[in-house]
Amino acid sequence: MPEKIIVAGVPVDTRHFIGGRRVASPDTFDDVSPIDGQVLGPIARGGPAEAEAAIAAAREAFPAWAATPRAERARILHAVADGVEKRIEELSAVETHDNGALLRSHRRGVMPRVAHNFRFFADWLLTLGHDDFETRGHTNHVSWDPAGPCVLITPWNAPLMLATWKVAPALAAGNTVVLKPAEWSPLTASLLADIATEAGLPAGVLNVVQGYGAEIGDALTSHPDVRRISFTGSVPTATRIAASAAANLTPLSLELGGKSPLLVFADADLDLAVDLAVEQYDNAGQVCLAATRILVEESVAEEFTRRFEEKASALVQGDPREEATDLGPTIHTRQLEKIDGFVQRALAAGARAVIGGHRRDGQYYAPTLLTDVAQDSEIVQEEVFGPVLTLQTFADEEEAVRLANDTRFGLAATLATGDRERADRVTARLIAGTVWVNCFFVRDLQAPFGGSRLSGVGREGGTWSFDFYCDLKNTVTAPNGWNNHG
């Protein structure tokens, strides 16, 4: 296999990165661009041997990195952020070819956020602490000790941003990392390894291995030397990871799927509510936080639907490299078939497509809104992960909350209302890790992030990330018993 491929004019090494050096595998898999179905190149396909080597490298590098002073770890993470910022154009172009998300979004939002992930956790590390407190004259001192090698398994819908959301706090905490990116979008993780090396990150502190979950993922998550596992992805995969980790009682952080509601009350700013609803088509609907179930108060449902159809129909779907494009392709033909299967079964069961409901050429699926759907139907209850929304109506606040909470998930919820007291009442009753009121996708790294029910286990962000990636220790010291008084 070639050591490097050229993507959008950028050379990308397709080998693993283990212990500070590139490592090939005897087998490969093809990385295909969703834009046009073209093969970008063969990628090293790892298995148990590569998993073992990567964990061994992380284990060997851990003592020195854990002992590195906080200020020095923070300095290196800021240097990584500098490297990301210098290569925003390259990273954006490669990731757009690799996963089909909009180039303009990568340039303006996603890649700057990648750099911010490193800067935020580097700075947070320097302020991390807890005031000492007294217990019957004894002093309690809380500390955050690095846990050890971490396995981080990341998804394909925002590959580098979601990878660094895990990598940055794990490294800041003093841990070493084995990163396994999704096989459908592995390229920017490889570029991150180059950037981290140039920034001075010691060999073995960050390792990147590629391959299929069944071949390399199980070997990583079941390894007894792994001290933390963080995963973002589907519920079925999470259950396999949890079972694999159980034998070693390896702590897990799981950020999983969602079937989030958008509640639109009659007192809401209807134009704002429509804007929020259409925004759910972002990244071709391949966003775990997307409010795919639109719940609208009966008295404004007809007007809401009219305005929604008008606005959504104006969206431009096409080549994500073009500035005017609003929706790109779905990530993979398998995902496209899955999306269409959901929609066609819903239509066969009596749903009506207000817009969309069909494929377009290539790997593109038309933005879709389905009405006349039952609450217990598959299309309402299961995550589609594509540009497919449903619309239901409610009579009053009580029914709105009941419908909103009536799934197995609890990742997020969005609420549109002009009544502050109603907002307070409803948000208090919604089952969700994040609730947005009259806004969407406003996220601060200081805030806890995660889901309830089948949407996940644990919270990350700010100190919550360090709580997960560290072993917390409380040291209790008696007030006397010292032989010296220096």
What residues act catalytically?
A: 255, 288
CA dist 202 → 18, 19, 144, 147, 390 (Å): 12, 9, 22, 18, 49
Cβ pair 180, 44 in contact under 8 A: no
Contacts 24+ apart (CB under 8 A), 235-243: 235/454, 237/213, 240/213, 241/153, 241/217
Neighbours of 49 (CB within 10 A): 13
Both tokens of 397, joined, read 């606040």
CB-based contact 221:178 (threshold 8 Å): no
Find out whether 84 and 120 touch, Cβ atoms under 8 Å: no
Single-letter code of the amino acid located at 233:
G
| Residue 477 CA neighbour count, 13 Å, CB half | 11
Tokens of 17: 């990165």
Distance, in Å, from the CA atom of 466 to the CA atom of 477, rounded to the nearest integer, reads: 24
Q: From CA 67, how far away is CA 43, in angstroms rounded?
A: 35
How far apart are alpha carbons 483 and 227 in whole angstroms? 38
Give the separation between CA 253 and CA 234, rounded to whole angstroms. 13
Q: What tokens does 419 get?
A: 């009544």
Nearest to 391 by CA among 443, 340, 356, 426: 356
HEC secondary structure over 305-370: HHHHHHHHCCCCECCCCCCCCCECCCCCHHHHHHHHHHHHHHHHCCCEEEECCCECCCCCECCEEE
Q: How many CB atoms lie within 10 A of CB 24?
A: 14
> What span, in angstroms and rounded, lies between the C-alpha atoms of 411 and 435?
9
**Contact status, residue 27 vs residue 49, Cβ threshold 8 Å:** no
The phi-psi region of residue 15 (left if phi > 0; otherwise alpha if psi is between -120 and 50; otherwise beta) is beta
